[in-house]
Amino acid sequence: MGFKHISLFLLLSLLILTILSGADQALASDKKQHVSQRNKTALAAAGGGGKEMLKGRKQTSGCNLFQGRWVFDASYPFYDSSTCPFIDGEFDCLKFGRPDKQFLKYSWLPDSCTVPRFDGEAFLKKWRGKRVMFVGDSLSLNMWESLGCMIHSSVPNTKTTFLKRTPLSSLTFQEYDVTLFLYRTPYLVDISKESVGRVLNLGAIEDGADAWKNMDLLVFNSWHWWTHTGVQSQGWDFIRDGSSLTRDMDRLDAFNKGLTTWGQWIDQNVNISQTRVFFQGISPTHYMGREWNEPRKTCNGQMQPLTGSTYPGGSLPAASIVSRVLSSMRTSVYLLDITTLSQLRKDAHPSTYGGDGGTDCSHWCLPGLPDTWNQLLYAALSM
């Protein structure tokens, strides 16, 4: 009888040990999964995510650079506009009397990762001997000048060659043999002179596109000029859509067709083993205060970003077109999805401090928001 009790006790002890061992293994496995995921996020934030991060057009891992909020940051801005020789007057808000400076003191804080601080010298070393080109309208100009100033502030004594021309401008950091180009073409597709006048050809990219080839990094942008109306501002007299010639058409439809032509050009002419391709994303305007619940306001006099991570006015239809075109392409183009984070910056425009006497709620002050675009470009390039 005693032997039976001893056997039963031993059996129960063995069973308890087995259960505890299984629980420990499950706990260790669960802990390992959490550590693994944390390591992945840290790796992505540190720039170790690999090229697979680019395949989804946006980031598909735990680090989404474009979902977050603006926070006050006393370490900003990256540079002083008075010491940067590359800024156009229309962006130099402090030079033209903007009295408030708090708009310079905000950094973008993603919800799921840390953005590495921009290091201009590290950028030059990584891209030594390379050619970087921004292609698009004056928002490309905004971003190109911003990147030039950010790099210059890191290596203020390095020699540069700065050539400002139309349509092709360049800034070369001679010691590193790195050139930043700007190619001005507001529609990406061609405008040609025909007997009827200036014709926007939605199906053609021939004028100057050879200049885009053989670059190591391409950053494209287009949209703002597609919304212009009137003979003086729209840049064309007729639109050619296939065999059809019309005085006007739905501008979103025209943008979709023009951007599709651009996408086909990229697929046919760009080798992504040699060239990284980005699309800058749609930069918003702030002329209508009702979009952020101040119906009688514009960007004029705004001194703070909107709080939170969503814009009351909602998304932009043009941004949806960009996403749709990029997803239909064979070439992997990284969408620098700056739309929402820029919508939150109603305070960052030149407004009446652009030097021309008007109210500019379309472009951005330098230093300012385009510096964040470039910091996110810098982060994306490291992933």
Among 198, 200, 182, 180, which residue's Cα sits nearest to residue 190? 200
Cβ distance 366 to 142 under 8 Å?
Answer: yes
DSSP string, 267-327: HHH--TTT-EEEE--PPP----GGGGT-TT--STT--SPPSSS--TT---HHHHHHHHHHH
Sequence-distant (6+) residues with CB within 8 A of 370 are 142, 143, 145, 146, 364
360 is catalytic: yes
Burial of 220 per CB tally in 10 Å (0-12, 13-18, 19+): buried
Cβ distance 183 to 135 under 8 Å?
Answer: yes
Residue type, 95: K
Taken in order 56, 60, 64, 67, the sign of the CA dihedral is positive
349 is catalytic: no
Burial 312-331 (b: 16+ CB within 10 A, else e): ebeebebbebbbebbeebeb
Write out the two tokens for 1. 């009888």
363 is catalytic: yes
User: Among the options 92, 107, 137, 138, which is catalytic?
Assistant: 138
User: Among the options 107, 360, 362, 371, which is catalytic?
Assistant: 360
Cross-strand pairs, 171: 162, 180
Angle at 255 between CA 239 and CA 231, to 5 degrees: 45
Gap between the Cα atoms of 166 and 184, Å rounded = 7
Q: Which residue has the tokens 């230093």?
A: 367
Cβ distance 202 to 241 under 8 Å?
Answer: yes
User: Among the options 224, 286, 349, 363, which is catalytic?
Assistant: 363
Cβ distance 133 to 218 under 8 Å?
Answer: yes
Cross-strand pairs, 349: none
Catalytic site residues? 138, 360, 363
